[in-house]
Structure 1
Amino acid sequence: MMAYARHQSFYIRDKWFSKGLKAVNQEKRFFFDKFAFETIGLGKNMVESLKYWLLAFNVIEEITEDGQKVHKLTDLGRILFENDKLLQRNETLAILHYNLIRNIKDQSTVFDWFFNKYKETSVSKPELLNSFITWVSQNETKEISDKSLKRDIDCLIQFYTKTPDENDPEDVIFCPFSRLGLMKCKHSGEGYDTIKKVVPELDNIGIVPMYYILLTYQNLNESDLISVDEILNSEFLLGKTFNLTRGKVVEVLNILTNHENYPIQYVRTNNLDYIKLAKVSPIEYLKSEFLKG
């Protein structure tokens, strides 16, 4: 069964990420300690929420050691902990966003649904919620409460639109993912907010996450060639992950043909454009990029 509203209604806040990774790195049973909230300086529900986000981002994993459940940093979690735990680089945010929409172990269904499956690009908030409710009812065997689904939609919107308050330098309740520029929430005087998928500036996303996604896709599907159409239209590829147009996708691919270590190649087969990626694992590629940066 897919998961809903496990975030306790909290989108991830600035500084939470580094606190969580640091805590797990120091103490693998951290999230099983009933006083964890005191150690980390967050409310109990916030700690539950933080654990949820770190698992959904695939930066920590839950395993059993000596009969006990523990958490440890994944390979990705280790790279980010050592190189950008404060989420200062947009590339890091873009990679974490990608892991959310991959909905690993069915932990972040609403993100997967909105970016991969939902076709509308501009919609009122009630329509968005109704579409999600309909989709869930068609894809779930069990009934999920509308209240949980509403919490998911509210969290999704805040996740990408909660920008820092310019008048408050101490503002800590913004969400760092608003920097990606993937969504706008337009408040209307009368009626409802309008939610829009936005085509971001490539600089907001960075080339590193784009290549990481292509390599991950190649890895998971064991495919040597990926068509440009696929990259634009398939789930978990560049078009859907970042709301990109064909022009932007081609721009990214052209940049990657000149990559200094791992250039991609264009291949034309049956009048279709394909790309051939370098032979490197996604994690090795990331390591090389982060160590450079």
Structure 2
Amino acid sequence: MKDKLKKVTLKGNASFNFREGWLRKGMRCIAQDPMLFTRDNVMEQLGVGSKMVSSIRFWLKACGLCEEKYINNSRARELYLTENFGEIVFQYDPYFDDIFTLFILHYHIVSNQALCIVWNIFFNEFSGIDFTKEDLVSMCSNLLQKKMEEGATFSEESLKSDCDYILKMYLSPTKIDDPEENLHCPLTVLGLIDKSPSDNKAYIKTSPVTDLLDKLAVLYVISMNIPEGRNSVSIRDLENAPNNIGHVFNLNRVKINEYLDELRVAGYVTINRTAGLDMVYLNNKYKPSDILIEYYKKAQMR
């Protein structure tokens, strides 16, 4: 990271991960009224309490589904569906029934350093082998301190809370320590965190089941990380670069090559492994939004 952080957003989720139906309801209401979250009746419209209202607003932005716009240079802010993601999901998968959409939401959360810095650190920089909650908090604290400007501080309690909610967001409800935590986040189905097979009090990062992670979700993340004007990326960068498929989806080199071969056979990429180059070339100038639309249109025909 070239620029050190002056401040970070911690515990922006108001102590809630998003729950089944929250994003759908929020998107529907925002499409009807961009000023929804400034209205006195917002709790009535969403059917939740005040802290949950704040959480829904946070996750709509953190997931890349919505963005805020100031009105005529005033402090009033409208919330709109993002053109290249929110509007597409709202059109093709408004109920978030397709696990493909959930994987894309996950990518946007992990890559959103401004709002989800602990998620960003966990997936990009934290080792995923047999770690406890205490290990997670300690390591994330150390890594975050290195990113901060000298003298800048953050709340250790808020950091601890975010670490706890990472585990709750991705761990199967049957494996969460707190038996009362039964309102789980939809992202638990992605299979990215599990209990350690060697220590019931520890956790591990896991790769999603191949049949669940569609190759076009992989292509979407690749395309989001290729700089404008280029159409190629090294396999090393796919594995190791921040916010790319290796870190975002917990994929090792073998899994990455399996997905690349699927994309090659389907005609989306060309792979050059001669002379140790290990380069991947996109066969067309895909915009990420084009990949989303192509996936959803194919899904509708199944």
The alignment's TM-score, normalised by the length of structure 2, stands at 0.87
Q: Does 1:57 align with 2:63?
A: yes
Partner of 2:223: 215
Q: 1:275 aligns with which of 244, 265, 280?
A: 280
Q: 1:164 to 1:121 in 2, by over 3 A?
A: closer
Q: 1:87 aligns with which of 79, 82, 96?
A: 96
User: Where do 5+ consecutive residues of structure 1 fail to align?
Assistant: 166-170
1:56-98 superposed Cα distances (whole Å, 9 cap, x missing partner): 1111000123444101100200111111122211110110100
Partner of 2:145: 137
Q: 1:147 to 1:187 in 2, by over 3 A?
A: farther
Question: What CA distance in whole angstroms lies between the structure 2 residues aligned with 1:28 and 1:55?
Answer: 13
Shift of the alpha carbon at 1:128?
1.0
Equivalent residue letter for 1:175:
C
Question: What CA distance in whole angstroms lies between the structure 2 residues aligned with 1:125 and 1:271?
Answer: 40
Question: What CA distance in whole angstroms lies between the structure 1 residues aligned with 2:270 and 2:198?
Answer: 47
The alignment's TM-score, normalised by the length of structure 1, stands at 0.90
Partner of 2:31: 25
Root mean square deviation, CA, Å: 2.2
Equivalent residue letter for 2:129:
T
After TM superposition, the structure 1 = structure 2 runs for residues 3-82 of structure 1, keeping only pairs within 5 Å, are 3-66=9-72, 67=74, 68-75=76-83, 76-82=85-91
- In the alignment of these two chains, the number of paired residues is 282
1:165-205 superposed Cα distances (whole Å, 9 cap, x missing partner): 9xxxxx9712110100000145999xx83121012212222
Q: Does 1:265 align with 2:273?
A: no
Deviates more, 1:197-206 or 1:11-20: 197-206
Shift of the alpha carbon at 1:221?
5.1
Shift of the alpha carbon at 1:126?
0.8
Q: 2:109 aligns with which of 79, 100, 108?
A: 100
After TM superposition, the structure 1 = structure 2 runs for residues 157-236 of structure 1, keeping only pairs within 5 Å, are 157-163=167-173, 173-185=183-195, 193-218=201-226, 220=227, 222-236=229-243
Structure 1 contact 187–193 (Cα < 8 Å) conserved: no
Structure 1 contact 3–109 (Cα < 8 Å) conserved: yes
Question: What CA distance in whole angstroms lies between the structure 2 residues aligned with 1:47 and 1:195?
Answer: 31
1:133-186 superposed Cα distances (whole Å, 9 cap, x missing partner): 222223223211111011101111100014379xxxxx9712110100000145
User: Where do 5+ consecutive residues of structure 2 fail to align?
Assistant: 1-6, 176-180
Partner of 1:168: none
SS at match of 2:265: coil
Deviates more, 1:281-290 or 1:12-21: 281-290
